[in-house]
Structure 1
């Protein structure tokens, strides 16, 4: 974590109205307290882990986006003819109504507009997600019982 990131964090905490924020990572521990006119920052870090961290952390983020960028165009080309069913809410994705029941849809299932394709649990409420298109399920993009974000693709449907 460099000085600009720390300064940005301090400004964010000051604007948020939080009175205290603690951030602990392997090599650094930061506590930001607000309550007076200016934020007070305490930084405690070990010298040896901090020197090693940039060497270990830097290569991984650089390599991953390159791999993701290379995979994305290939998937986009193949999936362009399909309609994507997306999550309308944030929550936990379930492919079946209960553990002992069969899944709503499988790859190869034919669905109609209005058919329930999954359930997303949000704040202990189970929301049935209905398809907006008719067609055949080509791909399930999320694992059962996984967290999903708003507008995250869940299924690919071949409308033909």
Structure 2
């Protein structure tokens, strides 16, 4: 992996708000971990046992990346009242149904039970069924179909 590609990857991770990322290919293994209040720590080691592992390289977290993450989450806050948000457990692309011709898993006004599939989030070409963490009636869908979502972003409001 070239230095420019590594820097682009680190910039993407910083903007995503993730605190820990592990990437492993046949050529290399990268582990990025940061404390959200301080800095990022990056270590990169070749997969082949013959080559020595490079030392960890500290990369400072930019205040702009933290502000961008906070700003991205702010508009999706739930309104006051007895509505509770059903939140995204991961980052990825949000889908309301299993396919373009399939009906949505839930509609506004539907009653959902704990453990019921409410949507799909695609992350790294894997389609993850997202289940309701609690029961209730869907009051509002907060995310449009086929749009990116962040970790812990409210997807639906239930009462």
TM, length-normalised to structure 1: 0.52
The structure whose Rg is larger is: 1
- Return the alpha-carbon distance in structure 2 between the equivalents of residues 144 and 117 of structure 1: 12
Give a deviation string over 1:20-55, Cα, whole Å, max 9, x none: 979xxxxxxxxxxxxxxxxxxxxxxxxxxxxxxxxx
Q: Kindly report which structure 2 residues correspond to 1:26-105, keeping only aligned pairs within 5 A, or say none.
A: 76-77=79-80, 80-105=81-106
Paired residues of 2:98 and 2:120 also in contact (CA < 8 A): yes
Paired residues of 2:76 and 2:142 also in contact (CA < 8 A): no
- Return the alpha-carbon distance in structure 2 between the equivalents of residues 144 and 128 of structure 1: 14
Unaligned runs of 5+ in 1: 1-16, 23-64
Structure 1 match to 2:122: 121
Structure 1 match to 2:146: 145
Give a deviation string over 1:73-109, Cα, whole Å, max 9, x none: 9x633xx311110000010000001111100000000
* More helix per residue: 1
CA RMSD of the aligned region, Å? Answer: 2.8
Instruction: Give 1:19 deviation, angstroms.
Output: 5.6
Unaligned runs of 5+ in 2: 9-70
- Number of aligned pairs? 93
Structure 1 match to 2:110: 109
